């Protein structure tokens, strides 16, 4: 061992967990091994349950259903083929996607704007938005604005997009 081995410091940070190991190389190595043995399984398990959005995959799945022009987001699906809830979810998904790829300035939409987009009364839109929010698919932001949740995006990817595409084919 040299004197230099005594001054080894390793700083490990993963999300909210942070640890600093100091000592000679054997002490630091042992500390690192114990740290990874203790925390990596729980990190792996936690990541399996974490909802996240793969933006590239989402964009690919939305091709032909959502498009962007200089005027903003557009649904490429005839309004008559969608239920009110489907239309609201797709409009909020379009806002999210447009914001994420830099085509829109906001990821949320005003209730009045959604009402205009789906062509329904304020009462119907409020009721449908309330149902979607109650189910965790959308969330109210500031004022009378709404956005799609990560859970909502996951639901859309697993169920709604397939359902909409089936309607378009049939």
Domain borders along the chain are 3-49, 55-169
For 55-169, CATH number?
A: 1.10.10.10
147/53 Cα distance (integer angstroms): 15
Instruction: Identify the pLDDT of residue 1.
Output: 41
The residues facing 73 across adjacent strands are: 68
pLDDT digits (tens, 9 = 90+) for 60-75: 999 999 999 999 999 9
138/166 Cα distance (integer angstroms): 23
pLDDT digits (tens, 9 = 90+) for 81-104: 999 999 999 999 999 999 999 999
Query: Token match 């989402």: residue?
Result: 58
**What's the distance, CA 55 to chain centroid?**
8
pLDDT digits (tens, 9 = 90+) for 135-167: 999 999 998 999 999 999 999 999 999 999 988
- Give me the DSSP letters along 16-44: TEEEEEEESHHHHHHHHHHHHHHHHHHHH
Q: Which helix (H) or strand (E) holds 67?
A: strand 66-69
**What's the distance, CA 3 to chain centroid?**
50
pLDDT digits (tens, 9 = 90+) for 1-47: 444 556 899 998 877 788 899 999 888 888 888 887 777 777 777 77
| Upper half-sphere CA count for residue 16 (Cβ side, 13 Å) | 3
Report pTM: 0.74
């Amino acid at each position: 061992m040299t004197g230099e081995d005594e001054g080894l410091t390793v700083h490990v940070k993963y999300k909210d967990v942070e640890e600093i190991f100091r000592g000679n190389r054997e002490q630091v190595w042992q500390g690192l091994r114990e740290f990874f043995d203790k925390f990596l399984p729980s990190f792996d398990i936690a990541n399996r349950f974490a909802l996240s959005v793969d933006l590239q995959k989402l964009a690919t799945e939305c091709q032909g259903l959502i498009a962007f022009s200089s005027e903003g987001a557009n649904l490429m699906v005839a309004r008559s083929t969608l239920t009110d809830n489907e239309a609201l979810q797709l409009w909020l998904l379009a806002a999210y996607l447009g914001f994420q790829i830099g085509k829109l300035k906001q990821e949320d939409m005003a209730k009045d704007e959604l009402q205009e987009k789906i062509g329904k009364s304020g009462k119907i839109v409020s009721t449908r938005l309330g149902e979607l929010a109650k189910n965790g698919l959308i969330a109210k932001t500031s004022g009378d604005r709404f956005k799609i949740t990560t859970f909502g995006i996951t639901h859309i990817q697993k169920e709604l997009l397939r359902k909409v595409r089936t309607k378009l084919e049939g």
